[in-house]
Chain A
Amino acid sequence: MTRDRFIRHATRGLWGVRKRDAALELRGAIEDKIYRHQLCGLSEREAEQAALRDLGSPHAIARDLNRVHTAPAALRATLLLGVAGLLSMQAVAQIPAVGSAFMPNDVDIQQCDVVTGQAMADRSPAMRARMDRLLAQAGGMAGLREQCRAGAFATLGPLLNVADLLTALKAAQVPVNADASASSALLLKGGSTGSIPQVSFQTQTIGGQRYLPGMFLITFLQTVTTQPFTLTGQTNPVLTIGSARIPIGSARAPVQTVDVLVRGLSAARRTDTSLPLPVNVMPMTTTLPIDPAAPQLAVPGTDGEVFAVVQNILRINEDRRDADAPETLWVRARQNGRIAFTDELTPDIRLVNSQEELDQATARGVKAAVVYRVNTANLQHPAMTPVPAMQVRVVTRP
Protein backbone atom coordinates (compact mmCIF):
# COMPACT_ATOMS: atom_id res chain seq x y z
CA MET A 1 0.00 0.00 0.00
CA THR A 2 1.28 3.48 -0.82
CA ARG A 3 1.08 6.39 1.61
CA ASP A 4 -1.53 8.13 -0.61
CA ARG A 5 -3.76 5.09 -0.56
CA PHE A 6 -3.25 4.72 3.19
CA ILE A 7 -4.28 8.34 3.79
CA ARG A 8 -7.26 7.97 1.45
CA HIS A 9 -8.49 4.92 3.39
CA ALA A 10 -7.72 6.40 6.81
CA THR A 11 -9.72 9.59 6.15
CA ARG A 12 -12.65 7.94 4.39
CA GLY A 13 -15.98 9.26 5.69
CA LEU A 14 -14.55 12.59 6.85
CA TRP A 15 -15.21 15.72 4.86
CA GLY A 16 -14.30 19.40 4.59
CA VAL A 17 -11.62 20.91 6.73
CA ARG A 18 -11.63 17.86 9.05
CA LYS A 19 -10.70 15.54 6.19
CA ARG A 20 -8.06 17.95 4.92
CA ASP A 21 -6.51 18.43 8.35
CA ALA A 22 -6.55 14.72 9.19
CA ALA A 23 -4.94 13.90 5.81
CA LEU A 24 -2.29 16.57 6.32
CA GLU A 25 -1.56 15.38 9.85
CA LEU A 26 -1.26 11.75 8.72
CA ARG A 27 1.00 12.74 5.81
CA GLY A 28 3.24 14.66 8.23
CA ALA A 29 3.28 11.68 10.62
CA ILE A 30 4.14 9.21 7.83
CA GLU A 31 6.92 11.43 6.47
CA ASP A 32 8.28 11.82 10.01
CA LYS A 33 8.36 8.05 10.48
CA ILE A 34 9.96 7.51 7.06
CA TYR A 35 12.63 10.05 7.98
CA ARG A 36 13.33 8.27 11.28
CA HIS A 37 13.47 4.83 9.64
CA GLN A 38 15.83 6.15 6.96
CA LEU A 39 18.12 7.50 9.68
CA CYS A 40 18.25 3.89 10.91
CA GLY A 41 19.54 2.78 7.50
CA LEU A 42 16.38 1.65 5.68
CA SER A 43 15.92 2.49 2.00
CA GLU A 44 13.11 4.92 1.12
CA ARG A 45 10.85 2.08 0.01
CA GLU A 46 11.55 -0.04 3.10
CA ALA A 47 11.12 3.02 5.32
CA GLU A 48 7.71 3.79 3.81
CA GLN A 49 6.54 0.20 4.28
CA ALA A 50 7.77 0.20 7.89
CA ALA A 51 6.12 3.58 8.57
CA LEU A 52 2.75 2.41 7.28
CA ARG A 53 3.08 -0.81 9.30
CA ASP A 54 3.75 1.29 12.42
CA LEU A 55 0.55 3.23 11.88
CA GLY A 56 -1.64 0.14 11.92
CA SER A 57 -4.85 -0.42 10.00
CA PRO A 58 -6.07 2.61 8.01
CA HIS A 59 -9.61 1.24 8.26
CA ALA A 60 -9.42 1.26 12.06
CA ILE A 61 -8.10 4.83 11.98
CA ALA A 62 -10.97 5.85 9.69
CA ARG A 63 -13.51 4.18 11.97
CA ASP A 64 -12.14 5.93 15.09
CA LEU A 65 -11.75 9.32 13.40
CA ASN A 66 -15.32 9.09 12.13
CA ARG A 67 -16.53 8.40 15.66
CA VAL A 68 -14.86 11.62 16.78
CA HIS A 69 -15.75 13.88 13.89
CA THR A 70 -18.78 12.77 11.96
CA ALA A 71 -21.94 14.67 12.81
CA PRO A 72 -25.22 12.70 12.88
CA ALA A 73 -26.73 12.14 9.43
CA ALA A 74 -29.62 14.54 10.00
CA LEU A 75 -27.28 17.36 10.95
CA ARG A 76 -25.13 16.62 7.92
CA ALA A 77 -28.16 16.84 5.63
CA THR A 78 -29.05 20.21 7.17
CA LEU A 79 -25.51 21.47 6.59
CA LEU A 80 -25.63 20.34 2.96
CA LEU A 81 -28.91 22.16 2.47
CA GLY A 82 -27.24 25.21 3.96
CA VAL A 83 -24.42 24.91 1.42
CA ALA A 84 -26.91 24.69 -1.43
CA GLY A 85 -28.73 27.70 -0.03
CA LEU A 86 -25.55 29.74 0.16
CA LEU A 87 -24.57 28.93 -3.40
CA SER A 88 -27.97 29.73 -4.82
CA MET A 89 -28.37 32.96 -2.90
CA GLN A 90 -29.14 35.75 -5.31
CA ALA A 91 -29.23 38.73 -2.97
CA VAL A 92 -25.51 39.34 -2.87
CA ALA A 93 -23.45 42.10 -1.34
CA GLN A 94 -20.97 43.96 -3.58
CA ILE A 95 -17.62 44.69 -1.93
CA PRO A 96 -14.74 46.92 -3.19
CA ALA A 97 -12.23 45.13 -5.46
CA VAL A 98 -9.02 43.46 -4.30
CA GLY A 99 -6.26 45.32 -6.16
CA SER A 100 -3.43 43.54 -7.98
CA ALA A 101 0.11 44.32 -9.17
CA PHE A 102 3.06 42.59 -10.84
CA MET A 103 6.50 42.35 -9.30
CA PRO A 104 8.42 45.34 -10.72
CA ASN A 105 11.20 42.99 -11.90
CA ASP A 106 8.75 40.90 -13.92
CA VAL A 107 7.67 43.88 -16.04
CA ASP A 108 10.87 45.94 -15.96
CA ILE A 109 11.87 47.30 -19.39
CA GLN A 110 15.50 46.15 -19.12
CA GLN A 111 14.46 42.76 -17.77
CA CYS A 112 12.03 42.32 -20.67
CA ASP A 113 14.84 43.11 -23.10
CA VAL A 114 16.92 40.38 -21.47
CA VAL A 115 14.05 37.87 -21.67
CA THR A 116 13.19 38.56 -25.30
CA GLY A 117 16.84 39.03 -26.32
CA GLN A 118 17.87 35.73 -24.78
CA ALA A 119 15.13 33.99 -26.68
CA MET A 120 16.45 35.43 -29.97
CA ALA A 121 20.02 34.44 -29.15
CA ASP A 122 19.08 30.77 -28.96
CA ARG A 123 20.85 29.04 -31.82
CA SER A 124 18.86 25.83 -32.06
CA PRO A 125 17.00 25.92 -35.40
CA ALA A 126 13.85 24.48 -33.85
CA MET A 127 13.88 27.08 -31.08
CA ARG A 128 14.52 29.89 -33.58
CA ALA A 129 11.58 28.70 -35.69
CA ARG A 130 9.41 28.65 -32.58
CA MET A 131 10.58 32.15 -31.66
CA ASP A 132 9.80 33.38 -35.20
CA ARG A 133 6.25 32.09 -34.87
CA LEU A 134 5.84 33.73 -31.45
CA LEU A 135 7.24 36.99 -32.84
CA ALA A 136 4.89 36.88 -35.83
CA GLN A 137 1.95 36.39 -33.46
CA ALA A 138 3.10 39.19 -31.12
CA GLY A 139 3.73 41.67 -33.93
CA GLY A 140 7.54 41.54 -33.88
CA MET A 141 10.07 42.14 -31.11
CA ALA A 142 8.44 45.44 -30.11
CA GLY A 143 5.13 43.63 -29.66
CA LEU A 144 6.78 40.86 -27.61
CA ARG A 145 8.47 43.46 -25.35
CA GLU A 146 5.12 45.20 -24.93
CA GLN A 147 3.51 41.89 -23.91
CA CYS A 148 6.36 41.33 -21.43
CA ARG A 149 5.92 44.81 -19.91
CA ALA A 150 2.18 44.14 -19.60
CA GLY A 151 3.02 41.13 -17.43
CA ALA A 152 2.35 38.38 -19.98
CA PHE A 153 5.44 36.43 -18.85
CA ALA A 154 5.47 37.52 -15.18
CA THR A 155 7.11 34.69 -13.23
CA LEU A 156 5.09 35.20 -10.05
CA GLY A 157 1.95 36.19 -11.96
CA PRO A 158 -0.25 38.96 -10.56
CA LEU A 159 -0.17 39.51 -6.78
CA LEU A 160 -3.15 40.56 -4.67
CA ASN A 161 -3.17 43.48 -2.23
CA VAL A 162 -3.25 41.93 1.26
CA ALA A 163 -4.97 44.89 2.95
CA ASP A 164 -7.71 44.86 0.28
CA LEU A 165 -8.16 41.11 0.64
CA LEU A 166 -8.46 41.20 4.44
CA THR A 167 -10.85 44.18 4.27
CA ALA A 168 -13.01 42.41 1.67
CA LEU A 169 -13.16 39.18 3.68
CA LYS A 170 -14.10 41.14 6.80
CA ALA A 171 -16.90 42.85 4.89
CA ALA A 172 -17.96 39.42 3.64
CA GLN A 173 -18.13 38.31 7.30
CA VAL A 174 -15.39 35.73 6.82
CA PRO A 175 -13.33 36.02 10.02
CA VAL A 176 -9.59 35.90 9.37
CA ASN A 177 -7.28 35.95 12.37
CA ALA A 178 -4.20 37.12 10.47
CA ASP A 179 -1.02 38.84 11.50
CA ALA A 180 0.43 40.87 8.63
CA SER A 181 3.10 42.59 10.76
CA ALA A 182 5.98 40.34 9.64
CA SER A 183 7.77 41.86 6.68
CA SER A 184 7.63 38.85 4.37
CA ALA A 185 4.73 36.67 5.47
CA LEU A 186 1.03 36.77 6.23
CA LEU A 187 0.58 34.61 9.30
CA LEU A 188 -2.79 32.99 9.97
CA LYS A 189 -3.08 32.64 13.70
CA GLY A 190 -5.72 29.92 13.70
CA GLY A 191 -9.36 29.97 14.76
CA SER A 192 -10.63 30.10 18.33
CA THR A 193 -11.63 26.43 18.11
CA GLY A 194 -8.30 25.34 16.68
CA SER A 195 -10.05 24.25 13.49
CA ILE A 196 -7.87 26.53 11.35
CA PRO A 197 -4.21 25.57 11.12
CA GLN A 198 -1.55 28.13 11.94
CA VAL A 199 0.23 28.64 8.66
CA SER A 200 1.96 31.48 6.91
CA PHE A 201 1.85 32.66 3.31
CA GLN A 202 4.85 34.32 1.69
CA THR A 203 4.10 37.91 0.67
CA GLN A 204 5.97 40.57 -1.31
CA THR A 205 6.20 44.32 -0.80
CA ILE A 206 5.40 46.44 -3.84
CA GLY A 207 5.26 50.23 -3.55
CA GLY A 208 5.25 49.98 0.25
CA GLN A 209 2.21 47.69 0.29
CA ARG A 210 1.98 43.97 0.99
CA TYR A 211 0.94 41.60 -1.77
CA LEU A 212 0.04 37.91 -1.80
CA PRO A 213 0.78 35.96 -5.00
CA GLY A 214 -2.60 35.38 -6.69
CA MET A 215 -1.64 31.71 -7.15
CA PHE A 216 -2.25 31.21 -3.40
CA LEU A 217 -5.82 32.57 -3.47
CA ILE A 218 -7.70 29.24 -3.42
CA THR A 219 -5.40 27.65 -0.84
CA PHE A 220 -5.64 30.80 1.31
CA LEU A 221 -9.45 30.76 1.20
CA GLN A 222 -9.60 27.01 1.88
CA THR A 223 -7.41 27.64 4.93
CA VAL A 224 -9.33 30.56 6.43
CA THR A 225 -12.86 29.29 5.92
CA THR A 226 -14.91 26.15 5.47
CA GLN A 227 -17.58 28.13 3.59
CA PRO A 228 -18.22 27.28 -0.06
CA PHE A 229 -16.87 29.82 -2.53
CA THR A 230 -16.48 30.18 -6.27
CA LEU A 231 -14.77 32.34 -8.90
CA THR A 232 -16.72 33.49 -11.95
CA GLY A 233 -15.42 35.19 -15.08
CA GLN A 234 -12.26 34.41 -17.05
CA THR A 235 -10.22 37.56 -16.27
CA ASN A 236 -10.33 39.48 -12.97
CA PRO A 237 -12.96 37.08 -11.62
CA VAL A 238 -15.60 37.75 -8.99
CA LEU A 239 -15.19 35.76 -5.78
CA THR A 240 -18.57 34.73 -4.37
CA ILE A 241 -18.44 33.70 -0.73
CA GLY A 242 -21.53 33.58 1.46
CA SER A 243 -23.70 36.45 0.27
CA ALA A 244 -20.71 38.59 -0.73
CA ARG A 245 -19.29 39.24 -4.18
CA ILE A 246 -15.67 40.37 -4.22
CA PRO A 247 -14.04 41.51 -7.51
CA ILE A 248 -10.48 40.15 -7.72
CA GLY A 249 -7.72 41.88 -9.71
CA SER A 250 -7.24 45.07 -11.68
CA ALA A 251 -6.66 46.20 -15.28
CA ARG A 252 -2.96 46.96 -14.61
CA ALA A 253 -2.28 43.38 -13.46
CA PRO A 254 -5.11 41.17 -14.72
CA VAL A 255 -5.79 37.94 -12.83
CA GLN A 256 -6.51 34.95 -15.10
CA THR A 257 -8.99 32.64 -13.40
CA VAL A 258 -7.48 29.50 -14.96
CA ASP A 259 -4.07 30.39 -13.47
CA VAL A 260 -5.60 30.68 -10.00
CA LEU A 261 -7.43 27.38 -10.59
CA VAL A 262 -4.37 25.46 -11.79
CA ARG A 263 -2.40 26.43 -8.69
CA GLY A 264 -5.41 25.77 -6.45
CA LEU A 265 -5.94 22.29 -7.89
CA SER A 266 -2.30 21.21 -7.70
CA ALA A 267 -2.05 22.51 -4.11
CA ALA A 268 -5.37 20.94 -3.07
CA ARG A 269 -4.12 17.55 -4.29
CA ARG A 270 -1.51 17.60 -1.52
CA THR A 271 -4.27 16.93 1.00
CA ASP A 272 -7.37 16.01 -1.04
CA THR A 273 -6.75 12.50 -2.28
CA SER A 274 -10.12 12.44 -4.09
CA LEU A 275 -8.68 14.67 -6.82
CA PRO A 276 -7.51 12.42 -9.69
CA LEU A 277 -4.15 14.19 -10.04
CA PRO A 278 -0.58 13.01 -9.42
CA VAL A 279 0.68 14.36 -6.06
CA ASN A 280 3.53 16.10 -7.85
CA VAL A 281 2.28 17.87 -10.93
CA MET A 282 3.70 20.96 -12.63
CA PRO A 283 1.09 23.69 -13.15
CA MET A 284 1.39 25.36 -16.58
CA THR A 285 -0.01 28.87 -16.34
CA THR A 286 -0.95 31.18 -19.21
CA THR A 287 2.17 33.26 -18.51
CA LEU A 288 4.21 30.67 -20.42
CA PRO A 289 4.23 31.65 -24.10
CA ILE A 290 2.84 28.79 -26.21
CA ASP A 291 4.13 28.06 -29.71
CA PRO A 292 1.29 29.21 -32.01
CA ALA A 293 1.87 26.05 -34.11
CA ALA A 294 1.48 23.62 -31.19
CA PRO A 295 -1.51 21.25 -31.46
CA GLN A 296 -4.61 21.82 -29.36
CA LEU A 297 -7.43 19.61 -28.11
CA ALA A 298 -10.97 19.80 -29.49
CA VAL A 299 -13.20 19.16 -26.46
CA PRO A 300 -16.97 18.69 -26.06
CA GLY A 301 -19.22 21.20 -24.27
CA THR A 302 -19.51 24.94 -24.71
CA ASP A 303 -16.96 27.78 -24.87
CA GLY A 304 -16.00 29.15 -21.46
CA GLU A 305 -16.25 25.74 -19.75
CA VAL A 306 -13.13 24.92 -17.74
CA PHE A 307 -11.07 21.83 -18.61
CA ALA A 308 -7.90 20.38 -17.12
CA VAL A 309 -5.34 18.25 -18.92
CA VAL A 310 -2.64 16.13 -17.30
CA GLN A 311 0.03 15.09 -19.79
CA ASN A 312 3.39 13.33 -19.57
CA ILE A 313 5.27 14.88 -22.53
CA LEU A 314 7.94 16.56 -20.39
CA ARG A 315 8.44 13.30 -18.52
CA ILE A 316 8.92 11.30 -21.70
CA ASN A 317 11.05 13.97 -23.43
CA GLU A 318 13.40 14.32 -20.54
CA ASP A 319 13.56 10.54 -20.32
CA ARG A 320 13.63 10.98 -16.59
CA ARG A 321 11.00 8.39 -15.76
CA ASP A 322 13.28 6.93 -13.11
CA ALA A 323 13.88 10.37 -11.62
CA ASP A 324 10.13 10.92 -11.30
CA ALA A 325 9.92 14.03 -13.50
CA PRO A 326 6.45 15.53 -12.99
CA GLU A 327 3.51 15.45 -15.33
CA THR A 328 2.19 18.88 -16.37
CA LEU A 329 -1.25 20.23 -15.52
CA TRP A 330 -3.00 22.60 -17.91
CA VAL A 331 -6.22 24.33 -16.89
CA ARG A 332 -7.87 26.24 -19.69
CA ALA A 333 -11.30 27.61 -20.61
CA ARG A 334 -12.69 26.22 -23.88
CA GLN A 335 -12.27 28.76 -26.69
CA ASN A 336 -13.63 28.15 -30.20
CA GLY A 337 -14.15 24.53 -29.19
CA ARG A 338 -10.48 24.04 -28.25
CA ILE A 339 -8.01 24.20 -25.40
CA ALA A 340 -4.18 24.48 -25.28
CA PHE A 341 -2.40 21.53 -23.68
CA THR A 342 1.20 21.54 -24.96
CA ASP A 343 3.95 23.78 -26.29
CA GLU A 344 5.38 20.97 -28.38
CA LEU A 345 4.71 20.48 -32.08
CA THR A 346 4.34 16.71 -32.05
CA PRO A 347 0.75 15.68 -32.78
CA ASP A 348 1.55 12.08 -31.83
CA ILE A 349 -0.14 12.06 -28.44
CA ARG A 350 -2.39 9.30 -27.17
CA LEU A 351 -5.57 10.41 -25.41
CA VAL A 352 -6.44 8.23 -22.42
CA ASN A 353 -9.37 7.92 -20.00
CA SER A 354 -7.75 8.09 -16.56
CA GLN A 355 -4.62 8.78 -14.55
CA GLU A 356 -4.10 5.02 -14.32
CA GLU A 357 -4.01 4.73 -18.12
CA LEU A 358 -1.68 7.74 -18.23
CA ASP A 359 0.66 5.99 -15.77
CA GLN A 360 0.64 2.89 -17.99
CA ALA A 361 1.49 5.02 -21.04
CA THR A 362 4.31 6.70 -19.12
CA ALA A 363 5.72 3.32 -18.11
CA ARG A 364 5.83 2.36 -21.80
CA GLY A 365 7.39 5.69 -22.82
CA VAL A 366 4.28 6.76 -24.76
CA LYS A 367 3.28 10.44 -24.81
CA ALA A 368 -0.29 10.69 -23.52
CA ALA A 369 -2.84 13.07 -22.02
CA VAL A 370 -6.01 12.74 -19.93
CA VAL A 371 -8.71 15.44 -20.02
CA TYR A 372 -11.06 16.46 -17.19
CA ARG A 373 -14.00 18.79 -16.79
CA VAL A 374 -13.39 21.02 -13.77
CA ASN A 375 -16.40 21.74 -11.56
CA THR A 376 -15.72 25.17 -10.09
CA ALA A 377 -19.16 25.62 -8.45
CA ASN A 378 -17.65 25.19 -4.99
CA LEU A 379 -13.88 25.68 -4.90
CA GLN A 380 -13.79 24.64 -1.26
CA HIS A 381 -14.05 21.17 -2.85
CA PRO A 382 -13.16 21.43 -6.54
CA ALA A 383 -14.13 18.34 -8.51
CA MET A 384 -12.66 16.86 -11.70
CA THR A 385 -14.54 14.45 -13.99
CA PRO A 386 -12.66 12.60 -16.74
CA VAL A 387 -13.77 13.31 -20.30
CA PRO A 388 -13.80 10.02 -22.28
CA ALA A 389 -10.85 9.98 -24.72
CA MET A 390 -13.18 9.22 -27.64
CA GLN A 391 -14.88 12.61 -27.11
CA VAL A 392 -11.57 14.50 -27.46
CA ARG A 393 -9.46 15.05 -30.59
CA VAL A 394 -5.93 16.38 -31.16
CA VAL A 395 -6.10 19.28 -33.62
CA THR A 396 -2.90 20.25 -35.42
CA ARG A 397 -2.45 23.81 -36.60
CA PRO A 398 -0.58 25.06 -39.67
Chain B
Amino acid sequence: MDAQQLKGHLDLLLLATLDTGPRYGGQIIADVQASTDGYFSMREGTLYPALHRLEKQGFIHGEFQTLPRGGSPVKVYTLTPTGKTELTAQREKYDRFTRAVRGVIGGPA
Protein backbone atom coordinates (compact mmCIF):
# COMPACT_ATOMS: atom_id res chain seq x y z
CA MET B 1 0.00 0.00 0.00
CA ASP B 2 1.48 3.33 -0.93
CA ALA B 3 2.22 5.97 1.68
CA GLN B 4 -0.36 8.49 0.39
CA GLN B 5 -3.18 5.94 0.60
CA LEU B 6 -2.13 5.03 4.14
CA LYS B 7 -1.87 8.66 5.17
CA GLY B 8 -5.45 9.36 4.10
CA HIS B 9 -6.81 6.64 6.39
CA LEU B 10 -4.23 6.69 9.19
CA ASP B 11 -6.41 8.44 11.78
CA LEU B 12 -9.31 6.06 11.14
CA LEU B 13 -7.01 3.02 11.42
CA LEU B 14 -5.46 4.23 14.67
CA LEU B 15 -8.77 5.17 16.29
CA ALA B 16 -10.33 1.85 15.22
CA THR B 17 -7.37 -0.12 16.59
CA LEU B 18 -7.59 1.67 19.94
CA ASP B 19 -11.35 1.03 20.00
CA THR B 20 -10.50 -2.61 20.75
CA GLY B 21 -8.45 -1.66 23.83
CA PRO B 22 -5.44 0.35 25.07
CA ARG B 23 -2.24 -0.22 23.04
CA TYR B 24 1.28 1.16 22.82
CA GLY B 25 3.04 1.99 19.56
CA GLY B 26 4.62 -1.41 18.89
CA GLN B 27 1.32 -3.18 19.57
CA ILE B 28 -0.64 -0.83 17.30
CA ILE B 29 1.72 -1.54 14.39
CA ALA B 30 1.58 -5.30 15.00
CA ASP B 31 -2.24 -5.25 15.30
CA VAL B 32 -2.78 -3.22 12.13
CA GLN B 33 -0.40 -5.47 10.23
CA ALA B 34 -2.05 -8.64 11.54
CA SER B 35 -5.65 -7.55 10.92
CA THR B 36 -4.90 -6.43 7.34
CA ASP B 37 -2.74 -9.49 6.53
CA GLY B 38 0.30 -7.26 6.16
CA TYR B 39 -1.41 -4.90 3.67
CA PHE B 40 -0.74 -1.93 5.95
CA SER B 41 2.84 -1.80 7.11
CA MET B 42 3.59 1.42 8.96
CA ARG B 43 6.74 2.66 10.58
CA GLU B 44 6.95 4.15 14.05
CA GLY B 45 8.29 7.25 12.35
CA THR B 46 4.83 7.76 10.84
CA LEU B 47 2.97 6.46 13.84
CA TYR B 48 4.24 8.64 16.70
CA PRO B 49 3.61 12.05 15.13
CA ALA B 50 0.10 10.83 14.21
CA LEU B 51 -0.54 9.57 17.76
CA HIS B 52 0.70 12.88 19.21
CA ARG B 53 -1.61 14.80 16.87
CA LEU B 54 -4.62 12.69 17.89
CA GLU B 55 -3.68 13.15 21.54
CA LYS B 56 -3.44 16.90 21.09
CA GLN B 57 -6.90 16.86 19.50
CA GLY B 58 -8.19 15.04 22.59
CA PHE B 59 -9.19 11.87 20.70
CA ILE B 60 -6.75 9.63 22.57
CA HIS B 61 -4.93 9.79 25.91
CA GLY B 62 -1.44 8.43 26.57
CA GLU B 63 0.03 7.19 29.84
CA PHE B 64 3.48 5.80 30.49
CA GLN B 65 3.53 2.25 31.79
CA THR B 66 6.42 -0.05 32.60
CA LEU B 67 6.21 -3.48 30.97
CA PRO B 68 6.85 -6.68 32.95
CA ARG B 69 10.16 -7.11 31.06
CA GLY B 70 11.38 -3.86 32.70
CA GLY B 71 13.40 -1.13 30.97
CA SER B 72 12.06 2.25 29.89
CA PRO B 73 8.29 2.70 30.09
CA VAL B 74 6.16 2.65 26.95
CA LYS B 75 3.34 5.10 26.30
CA VAL B 76 0.01 3.30 26.26
CA TYR B 77 -2.81 5.07 24.39
CA THR B 78 -6.52 4.84 25.19
CA LEU B 79 -9.47 6.10 23.13
CA THR B 80 -11.28 8.99 24.87
CA PRO B 81 -15.08 9.52 24.67
CA THR B 82 -14.41 12.36 22.18
CA GLY B 83 -12.24 9.95 20.20
CA LYS B 84 -15.09 7.42 20.11
CA THR B 85 -17.42 10.07 18.65
CA GLU B 86 -14.75 11.01 16.11
CA LEU B 87 -14.30 7.33 15.18
CA THR B 88 -18.05 6.98 14.51
CA ALA B 89 -18.01 10.11 12.35
CA GLN B 90 -14.92 8.93 10.40
CA ARG B 91 -16.42 5.46 9.86
CA GLU B 92 -19.59 6.99 8.41
CA LYS B 93 -17.55 9.31 6.22
CA TYR B 94 -15.46 6.37 4.98
CA ASP B 95 -18.60 4.30 4.26
CA ARG B 96 -20.13 7.17 2.25
CA PHE B 97 -16.87 7.51 0.32
CA THR B 98 -16.55 3.80 -0.53
CA ARG B 99 -20.24 3.60 -1.56
CA ALA B 100 -19.75 6.61 -3.85
CA VAL B 101 -16.59 5.08 -5.41
CA ARG B 102 -18.36 1.72 -5.86
CA GLY B 103 -21.16 3.58 -7.62
CA VAL B 104 -18.67 4.70 -10.24
CA ILE B 105 -16.36 1.69 -10.59
CA GLY B 106 -18.98 -1.01 -10.04
CA GLY B 107 -18.59 -4.29 -8.15
CA PRO B 108 -20.11 -5.40 -4.81
CA ALA B 109 -21.29 -2.53 -2.61
Contact = CB atoms under 8 A, between A and B. Distances in A.
Contacts of B61: 194
B44 A55 contact: yes
Interface residues of B, number: 25
Interface of chain B: mostly helix, strand, loop or mixed: mixed
A68 B52 CA distance: 7
A28 B45 contact: no
Contacts of A270: 72
A56 B71 contact: no
A61 B48 contact: yes
Interface of chain A: mostly helix, strand, loop or mixed: helix
B72 A54 contact: no
A31 B71 contact: yes
A88 to B, nearest CB: 31
Contact of B49 (A33, A36, A68, A197): A68
B64 A194 contact: no
Interface residues of A, number: 31
Contacts of B26: 29, 32-33, 36
B52 A55 contact: no
A65 interface: yes
17 contacts: A21-B75, A25-B62, A25-B64, A25-B75, A26-B48, A28-B72, A28-B73, A29-B24, A29-B48, A32-B24, A33-B44, A56-B43, A58-B45, A64-B46, A65-B52, A68-B52, A194-B63
Contacts of A294: none
B88 interface: no
Contacts, number: 87
Interface string A9-35: 000000000000110111111011101
Given A29-B24, A56-B43, A56-B46, 7 more contacts: A24-B75, A25-B74, A26-B48, A29-B25, A33-B26, A68-B56, A69-B56
Nearest to B27: A32
B43 A28 contact: no
A198 interface: yes
Nearest to B69: A35
B52 A22 contact: yes
B74 to A, nearest CB: 4
B1 interface: no
A32 B64 contact: no
Interface in B49-84: 49, 52-53, 55-56, 61-65, 67, 69, 71-75
A363 interface: no
A12 to B, nearest CB: 14
Interface in A52-82: 54-58, 60-61, 64-65, 67-69
B72 A27 contact: yes
Contacts of A92: none
A24 B72 contact: yes
Given A35-B69, A68-B52, A194-B55, A28 B46 contact: no
A65 B48 contact: yes
B52 A28 contact: no
A21 B56 CA distance: 13
Which residue, B44, B63, B71, has most C-beta atoms of chain A within 10 A? Answer: B44
